[in-house]
Structure 1
Amino acid sequence: MSETRVHGPDVRTAHQDLHSEEGALRGEHPGRSRNPVIKVADLAWLEFEKCDLDRAEVFARDFGFGVAARTERELWLRGTYGGSPCMVIRRGRTSRFIGPAFRAAERSDLDRLARATGADVRRADAPGGGEAVDLLDPSGFPVRVVHGGERLPALPEQRPLLLNFGTDHRRTNATQRPPREPSRIQRLGHVVLETRVFGRALDWYLDILGMIVSDFLFLDGQRDRGPTMAFIRCDLGSVPADHHTLAMHLGPGTGYVHSAYQVPDLDSIAAGGEYLKERGYLRSWGIGRHIQGSQLFDYWRDPDRFMLEHFADGDLFSRDVAPGWASMSTSGLAQWGPPATRDFLGASPSPQRIRDVIEALRGDNEMDPARLLGLLKAARS
């Protein structure tokens, strides 16, 4: 399908300093498909299995989720925005990430997707029903595309604080006292995945789900070999969409890296972080502001070691913004904030990580010694 990916006439070929110092060079990956099967509208929810649903619910409430539904075997979590839940956690023998569910814009998209992939349209096992098509991406992640079903009503919001700026005084005769309480999550923002078959997986999401790339990262001295990370958004035409709904990077493993959930503002991130810290949870990295996507961020580990992010104030791009290109480096992850931790980078030499490296270098994938050395260099730069 690679021959179908070209720049359309409505795509800016110059980056115009919108989000990256560099744009694409001639012949580089354009970051979109001319004729995708469908164009997904958003990320619907993420699916996990965990051994202890009670413990998972305690952390979820402390992190700022609401509970949409709970049974003996399932826990559905939500934000304050109306629509679909953010996450489903099913009881399992081990704790693991299953895969993402994306929302189709139209019911007919499910039929089109089923015809193109040989899959079936079936009832979705989600609160409120709906229909779904179940797929498998090149990395081996189950990917569900859903449509219909009952939409959850909106919940009361955690209001952003009213701020004074210079001579712009919006708050007078009043103090600021953000409550020490959980950050109230508004919605699911994005998921980040690691894969050994980055190029094949990237093309699958562009060609099958119609997503488009906001930013590419490449390894220093290896740009001619193509990108090794992509920040990918939904193509909503002239309607601005999150800078990335999905991000993927090449690595020795195949799995979940983190997921991100929007909260109202910086005070919500900070006060919610203090609440989590007081309850003994591990902050992985934060607080800071990213470069790609510009989000204010704060990363935490749940009791099962999954990483989750609170974020606010992310970039929004319409379809006519072409991909930016930048060198991959640890220092390039943030505009300000503390240095990225070894925990966040996954740089600790655990037995599993060592096994991943050995298997990747022996397997039929895109990892080789040059790529591995380039990734290690990027982690130290």
Structure 2
Amino acid sequence: MSDPHAGLHSEQGALAGEHPGRDRDPIIKAHDLAWLEFAKPDLRKAEEFAVAFGFTAALRTDSELHLRGTDPGAPCVLIRKGPRERFLGPAFRAADGRDVLRLANAAGVSVTGLPESLGGVGTTVLDPSGLPIKVVADMHDLPALPAQTPLTLNAGAANRVNAPQRPLREPARVQRLGHVVIQTTRYRETLDWYLRFLGLIVSDFLFYPGQRERGPIMSFIRCDRGNTPADHHTLALTLGPANRYVHSAYQVADLDALAAGGEYLLDHGYRRSWGIGRHIQGSQLFDYWRDPDGFLVEHFSDGDLFDCTLEPGWAPMTASGLAQWGPPATRDFLGVRPAELITVAHGLREDNEFDLHRLRGMLKAASS
């Protein structure tokens, strides 16, 4: 019998008894990722990078900065002034206020009104790693902004005649927030929590080479919108020696917007972490950058869309398996740096899923 995953989105599907990738009776089904929240000490510096990266400021005060894309809806990123840079957590959009109330009742927490600048209601729950997760609904929708139009391509047909291509070296205009990647020391418990509380479903599982029998260590997770397609992943969750933000991704119009926008960032002294390339899980064109506070952010375009019918794929995690094409994954992107040794040492001393076997698997994956 042929494997339906072969040549589709993963090397193979699940084996008997492996994680199904979804909860049978979730509390709610989150509709999308609404925004991400950060604290940073220098809002002016944060905005300078944000504009170069392709955001537009939707709100600017002495203590807060809201960044948006060109698509209508809520801001993509909320930055609050704080003594040090840190990730404060994501906000997921519920279908409506009734889902917010249903989740709050299940978690034993309250529903509150959001600030007038955002509108709507929300509740905050903690995932098993202790990360605050907001679930929100009924916010004000910002109107659409002028968008960057994908270039017309002569791909097998004369679609463009007497009109040379000259994409400007300018910021790629961010359209919307796509996904966030989070590392946890309690991967399985945290995964099950997101599937149960937010109704997310797994698109792809990764496991360490030679350790499949111990279960997955990373999952790319999408929103369950039924027959309406959703991004291959809205959340990616990975096992590691500490609970932390890994990166977030923002959609742009096409490869030219991504590449020309990258040249603009380089011209203005910003640092590329890894790219340009095309991923395997999710298929996105990607380009990763470090902002001035060290946070990893991604431009992406042309990602996969799945409906609720597709079951999870399974594949080994390898550094070379992170992209179909592109330069080798960099040490910066993989997090291979001296400071990480201290984090690993602390992680191994804690009571969590990251043990010596998982450390060996991580090292093998990073070098394969």
TM-score of the two chains, using structure 1 as the length reference: 0.95
The whole-number CA distance in structure 2 between the counterparts of 1:293 and 1:214 is 9
Contact 1:15 1:321 in 2 (8 A): no
Matching residue of 2:75: 85
Of 321, 329, 342, 1:355 maps to 342
The whole-number CA distance in structure 2 between the counterparts of 1:127 and 1:27 is 48
The whole-number CA distance in structure 2 between the counterparts of 1:240 and 1:149 is 23
Matching residue of 2:361: 374
Range moving further from structure 2, 142-151 or 45-54: 142-151
The whole-number CA distance in structure 2 between the counterparts of 1:217 and 1:249 is 9
Matching residue of 2:352: 365
**What do you get for the CA RMSD once the two structures are aligned?**
1.0
Amino acid at match of 1:237: G
CA deviation profile, 1:108-131 (whole Å, cap 9, x unmatched): 101110110001000113623110
The whole-number CA distance in structure 1 between the counterparts of 2:140 and 2:220 is 30
The whole-number CA distance in structure 1 between the counterparts of 2:107 and 2:147 is 40
2:257 aligned with 1:268, yes or no? Answer: yes
Amino acid at match of 1:376: L
Q: Which runs of 5+ in 1 are unaligned?
A: 1-12
Contact 2:64 2:81 in 1 (8 A): yes
Amino acid at match of 1:239: T
Amino acid at match of 1:143: I
The whole-number CA distance in structure 2 between the counterparts of 1:339 and 1:17 is 22
Of 108, 114, 123, 1:118 maps to 108
Contact 1:258 1:309 in 2 (8 A): yes
Contact 2:58 2:66 in 1 (8 A): yes
Matching residue of 1:236: 225
CA deviation profile, 1:120-158 (whole Å, cap 9, x unmatched): 000113623110010110111110000012110000011
The whole-number CA distance in structure 2 between the counterparts of 1:356 and 1:341 is 19
SS in 1 for 2:287: strand
The whole-number CA distance in structure 1 between the counterparts of 2:262 and 2:233 is 23
CA deviation profile, 1:211-270 (whole Å, cap 9, x unmatched): 000000001111011000000000000000000000011111210110000000000000
Matching residue of 2:201: 212
The whole-number CA distance in structure 2 between the counterparts of 1:46 and 1:40 is 15
The whole-number CA distance in structure 2 between the counterparts of 1:103 and 1:355 is 36
Matching residue of 1:306: 295
Of 2, 10, 19, 2:9 maps to 19
Q: CA deviation at 1:23?
A: 0.3
The whole-number CA distance in structure 2 between the counterparts of 1:361 and 1:126 is 44
SS in 2 for 1:164: coil
The whole-number CA distance in structure 1 between the counterparts of 2:262 and 2:101 is 43
2:177 aligned with 1:188, yes or no? Answer: yes
Contact 1:14 1:322 in 2 (8 A): no
Of 238, 242, 247, 2:236 maps to 247
Matching residue of 1:107: 97
CA deviation profile, 1:294-331 (whole Å, cap 9, x unmatched): 00000000000101000000000000000000000000
The whole-number CA distance in structure 2 between the counterparts of 1:349 and 1:235 is 39
Amino acid at match of 1:257: V
Q: Which runs of 5+ in 2 are unaligned?
A: none
Q: CA deviation at 1:358?
A: 1.5
Matching residue of 2:119: 129
Contact 2:11 2:314 in 1 (8 A): yes
Q: CA deviation at 1:360?
A: 1.1
Contact 2:74 2:118 in 1 (8 A): no
2:43 aligned with 1:53, yes or no? Answer: yes
Matching residue of 1:65: 55
SS in 1 for 2:266: helix
The whole-number CA distance in structure 1 between the counterparts of 2:80 and 2:201 is 31
Q: CA deviation at 1:39?
A: 0.3
SS in 2 for 1:249: strand
Matching residue of 2:192: 203
Amino acid at match of 1:42: D
2:335 aligned with 1:335, yes or no? Answer: no
TM-score of the two chains, using structure 2 as the length reference: 0.98
SS in 1 for 2:303: coil
Amino acid at match of 1:101: A
Matching residue of 1:4: none
Matching residue of 1:98: 88
The whole-number CA distance in structure 1 between the counterparts of 2:200 and 2:99 is 14
Runs of 4+ in 1 over 3 A off after TM superposition: none
Matching residue of 1:76: 66
